[in-house]
Structure 1
Amino acid sequence: MNNIFITGIGTGVGKTVASACVTEALGAQYWKPIQAGLQDTTDTQTVRALISEPSHVKDELYRLHMPASPHLAASREGITIYEEKIVERAQQMQKADQPLVIEGAGGLMVPISQHVFTIDLIKALGAKVIIVAQNYLGSINHSLLTAMALKQANIPVIGWIFNGDHHSNEEDIIGWSNFPRIARIARARKLNKEFVQAQAALIRPGLQQLIPA
């Protein structure tokens, strides 16, 4: 399966913007299977508004109103999230000549049910991973724990995308994790299609080098 899973070292590190840029760079499809929190604009709506081919964005499988971990929101709303259904839907979307960019909720250990975590879903999807990181107090620890978990699970990692202003921590994280840098997405003065297209052009060479044709 030609799946690329976008995970983050935590919540709010810029996974959705990174997902839009990767989707644009590869001419890929985008899918966020689980959306928790429907009060504001959803991640799916955001990506659809930011990329040049909105039809490449697929609707969520599970839409949960409560802004919480998927397992908690689903439980409160009387919904059961099935890993098998997510994998089946991904298989139905799969195209041989077009990657499917899948955005996760939060980080690797976010529970999507009582027995399944995001890292389990990634493995079931047979996906390669892009890790999105951002510099903040504690980000080195979160980055290296994420890298360690992926290594222990034998999940292939394409590399890092760093969001925001450059920081020397990037070089340390790359060296200690032994995962390559794909790119850094600059802080957006105005987040729009033009910004995403410009960033996609910058990250495309790195992605093409790291992802076999």
Structure 2
Amino acid sequence: MVVDEDVAVALRERSHAQVAVFVAGCVERMAQMFIGLRGDAPGRDNDVDTVIRLLEELWNSEVPRKKFQSYVDCLSDFPELDDSFDEEIVDPGEIYSFYAVLALRYAALHRSRGEIEAALKCAHACLTAMGQLDQNIPVAMFFAQETECQQRVVSSCPPDGAADEVAQLRVADRVMGQERLAALQERLSY
């Protein structure tokens, strides 16, 4: 697995609330790509709305586990996760939409069941996507940025209930997500 060993060990030692913040951050950095790539696509309005709602709820520690299971089920029906989809992935937009949906699904799976393995798979999807993005742009920086971000969050994850620190993390993650989307859109314009 691509996830840094220290990150994997730290995630196993953190509270459920801290791991929930970790996966919410991963998704915040990835969701921008899905929203940006699929926001204008015909027939994807409901999918984009689902992603936006899920993203909001991932940051809310009060949302019950059952709600996240409904997101897991819903995301499983997205075209990106269709069994035949991965055979046809050649378009860069499809590739990054796939990784964004995969990260979202694993984050929702973690929140629905509390499984650390789902959180690790979420982190892995983010790293894989950023590694591929780096291979397709002139200045490779996103894989290293994602690795550093994951390491930083697990080493200084705010204690349960530290709303101000969590809000600051979210803002920083949103900015990173927007930078990734901008780099991807520039790549797609070639």
Normalised to the residue count of structure 2, the TM-score between the two structures is 0.34
Normalised to the residue count of structure 1, the TM-score between the two structures is 0.32
Q: Tell me: higher relative CO, structure 1 or 2? Use CA pairs within 8 A at least 6 residues apart.
A: 2
